[in-house]
Amino acid sequence: MAPLPPERPRALLRWPTYLMGHLHRTGVSRIDAELAGSGVSLREFYVLVCIGESGPLSQQRVADRLGLDRSDLVKVLDRLEAAGWVLRERDTEDRRRHVLTLTGDGRATVGKVEEVSSEVTAELFGRLSPGERETLHRLLLKAFGEPSG
Protein backbone atom coordinates (compact mmCIF):
# COMPACT_ATOMS: atom_id res chain seq x y z
CA MET A 1 0.00 0.00 0.00
CA ALA A 2 1.09 3.57 -0.64
CA PRO A 3 2.78 5.18 2.36
CA LEU A 4 0.21 7.76 3.25
CA PRO A 5 1.67 11.28 3.50
CA PRO A 6 2.93 12.21 6.96
CA GLU A 7 0.72 14.48 9.00
CA ARG A 8 2.52 17.77 9.62
CA PRO A 9 2.19 19.69 12.88
CA ARG A 10 -0.54 22.24 12.26
CA ALA A 11 1.11 24.80 14.53
CA LEU A 12 4.11 24.96 12.19
CA LEU A 13 2.02 25.67 9.11
CA ARG A 14 1.62 29.22 10.43
CA TRP A 15 5.24 29.97 9.59
CA PRO A 16 6.17 30.84 5.99
CA THR A 17 9.80 30.13 6.85
CA TYR A 18 8.89 26.54 7.70
CA LEU A 19 6.82 26.12 4.55
CA MET A 20 9.49 27.62 2.30
CA GLY A 21 12.11 25.44 3.92
CA HIS A 22 10.21 22.28 3.09
CA LEU A 23 9.36 23.36 -0.44
CA HIS A 24 12.94 24.44 -1.04
CA ARG A 25 14.39 21.20 0.22
CA THR A 26 11.93 19.15 -1.80
CA GLY A 27 12.75 21.09 -4.95
CA VAL A 28 16.50 20.82 -4.49
CA SER A 29 16.31 17.11 -3.73
CA ARG A 30 14.25 16.36 -6.80
CA ILE A 31 16.38 18.47 -9.11
CA ASP A 32 19.60 16.99 -7.77
CA ALA A 33 18.14 13.50 -8.13
CA GLU A 34 17.25 14.18 -11.78
CA LEU A 35 20.71 15.62 -12.39
CA ALA A 36 22.61 12.84 -10.65
CA GLY A 37 23.64 11.29 -13.94
CA SER A 38 24.84 14.58 -15.40
CA GLY A 39 27.42 15.10 -12.69
CA VAL A 40 26.19 18.59 -11.86
CA SER A 41 24.46 19.84 -8.74
CA LEU A 42 21.98 22.66 -8.36
CA ARG A 43 24.57 24.70 -6.49
CA GLU A 44 27.01 24.32 -9.38
CA PHE A 45 24.24 25.31 -11.75
CA TYR A 46 23.85 28.59 -9.88
CA VAL A 47 27.55 29.30 -10.35
CA LEU A 48 27.41 28.44 -14.05
CA VAL A 49 24.40 30.71 -14.58
CA CYS A 50 26.10 33.56 -12.75
CA ILE A 51 29.24 33.34 -14.84
CA GLY A 52 27.31 32.85 -18.06
CA GLU A 53 25.06 35.81 -17.44
CA SER A 54 27.51 38.46 -16.33
CA GLY A 55 30.36 37.63 -18.65
CA PRO A 56 33.90 37.15 -17.33
CA LEU A 57 33.92 37.56 -13.54
CA SER A 58 36.40 37.16 -10.74
CA GLN A 59 35.76 34.54 -8.07
CA GLN A 60 35.07 37.21 -5.48
CA ARG A 61 32.42 38.78 -7.70
CA VAL A 62 30.69 35.46 -8.25
CA ALA A 63 30.72 34.79 -4.51
CA ASP A 64 29.21 38.21 -3.81
CA ARG A 65 26.45 37.78 -6.37
CA LEU A 66 25.47 34.35 -5.11
CA GLY A 67 25.88 35.11 -1.43
CA LEU A 68 28.53 32.42 -1.04
CA ASP A 69 31.82 32.62 0.77
CA ARG A 70 34.73 32.88 -1.63
CA SER A 71 36.55 30.08 0.16
CA ASP A 72 33.68 27.70 -0.52
CA LEU A 73 33.51 28.73 -4.14
CA VAL A 74 37.05 27.44 -4.71
CA LYS A 75 36.01 23.79 -4.46
CA VAL A 76 32.96 24.31 -6.64
CA LEU A 77 35.10 25.88 -9.33
CA ASP A 78 37.63 23.07 -9.07
CA ARG A 79 34.88 20.69 -10.19
CA LEU A 80 33.41 22.99 -12.82
CA GLU A 81 36.86 23.60 -14.31
CA ALA A 82 37.70 19.88 -14.30
CA ALA A 83 34.40 19.17 -16.06
CA GLY A 84 35.33 21.65 -18.77
CA TRP A 85 32.39 23.95 -18.06
CA VAL A 86 34.36 26.92 -16.80
CA LEU A 87 37.66 28.47 -17.84
CA ARG A 88 39.77 29.77 -14.93
CA GLU A 89 42.62 32.03 -16.02
CA ARG A 90 44.80 34.63 -14.35
CA ASP A 91 43.67 38.19 -14.86
CA THR A 92 46.53 39.87 -16.70
CA GLU A 93 45.47 43.29 -15.45
CA ASP A 94 45.27 42.26 -11.78
CA ARG A 95 47.22 39.12 -11.12
CA ARG A 96 45.44 38.54 -7.82
CA ARG A 97 42.27 37.72 -9.69
CA HIS A 98 41.09 34.84 -11.82
CA VAL A 99 38.98 35.46 -14.89
CA LEU A 100 36.06 33.02 -15.06
CA THR A 101 34.44 32.28 -18.40
CA LEU A 102 31.67 29.87 -19.31
CA THR A 103 32.61 27.37 -22.04
CA GLY A 104 30.32 26.01 -24.73
CA ASP A 105 29.93 22.80 -22.78
CA GLY A 106 29.10 24.86 -19.72
CA ARG A 107 26.38 26.69 -21.60
CA ALA A 108 24.93 23.40 -22.80
CA THR A 109 24.88 22.11 -19.23
CA VAL A 110 23.01 25.21 -18.12
CA GLY A 111 20.38 24.51 -20.76
CA LYS A 112 19.99 20.94 -19.61
CA VAL A 113 19.58 21.92 -15.98
CA GLU A 114 17.02 24.57 -16.91
CA GLU A 115 14.90 21.91 -18.56
CA VAL A 116 15.01 19.67 -15.51
CA SER A 117 14.39 22.61 -13.21
CA SER A 118 11.34 23.65 -15.19
CA GLU A 119 9.84 20.20 -14.95
CA VAL A 120 10.49 19.86 -11.24
CA THR A 121 9.16 23.35 -10.56
CA ALA A 122 5.96 22.59 -12.43
CA GLU A 123 5.60 19.41 -10.41
CA LEU A 124 6.44 21.13 -7.12
CA PHE A 125 3.64 23.63 -7.64
CA GLY A 126 1.31 21.21 -9.31
CA ARG A 127 -1.45 22.04 -6.85
CA LEU A 128 -1.47 25.66 -7.98
CA SER A 129 -3.17 27.05 -11.06
CA PRO A 130 -0.99 28.91 -13.59
CA GLY A 131 -2.33 32.19 -12.25
CA GLU A 132 -1.56 31.21 -8.68
CA ARG A 133 1.96 30.17 -9.65
CA GLU A 134 2.52 33.52 -11.28
CA THR A 135 1.18 35.32 -8.20
CA LEU A 136 3.37 33.27 -5.88
CA HIS A 137 6.41 33.96 -8.02
CA ARG A 138 5.69 37.67 -8.11
CA LEU A 139 5.26 37.86 -4.34
CA LEU A 140 8.46 35.92 -3.73
CA LEU A 141 10.31 38.31 -6.02
CA LYS A 142 8.86 41.29 -4.22
CA ALA A 143 9.73 39.91 -0.80
CA PHE A 144 13.19 39.15 -2.14
CA GLY A 145 13.55 42.80 -3.05
CA GLU A 146 13.54 42.56 -6.83
CA PRO A 147 11.30 44.37 -9.31
CA SER A 148 8.55 41.99 -10.33
CA GLY A 149 9.20 42.43 -14.07
Partner DNA sequence: TCCTACTGTAGGGTATCCCTACAATTGAGC
Partner DNA sequence: GCTCAATTGTAGGGATACCCTACAGTAGGA
Beta strands in the chain (DSSP E): 86-90, 98-102
Nearer CB in complex with DNA: 78/119: 78
Q: Which of 42, 50, 38, 22 is nearest to 124 (CA)?
A: 22
Task: Write phi, then psi, for 105 (nearest 5 degrees).
Answer: -60, -40
* Region from 46-54, 78-86, 92-100, 101-109 binding a second copy, contact rule CB under 8 A: 46-54
Residue from 77, 110, 113, 116 in contact with DNA (CB under 7 A): 77
142 binds, among a second copy, DNA, none (CB under 5 to 8 A by kind): a second copy
By C-beta, is 66 or 133 nearer to DNA? 66
What distance in Å separates the CA atoms of residue 109 and residue 115, rounded to the nearest whole number?
10
6-35 mask for a second copy (x: CB under 8 A)? xxxxxxxx-xxxxxxxxxx--xx--x----
Does 136 bind a second copy (CB under 8 A)? Our answer is: yes
Could you tell me which residues are beta bridge partners of residue 140? none
Residue from 18, 34, 41, 125 that binds DNA (CB under 7 A)? Answer: 41
DSSP 8-state secondary structure symbol assigned to residue 115:
H
Residue 87 three-state SS:
strand
Q: How far is the CB of 79 from DNA (least distance, A)?
A: 9
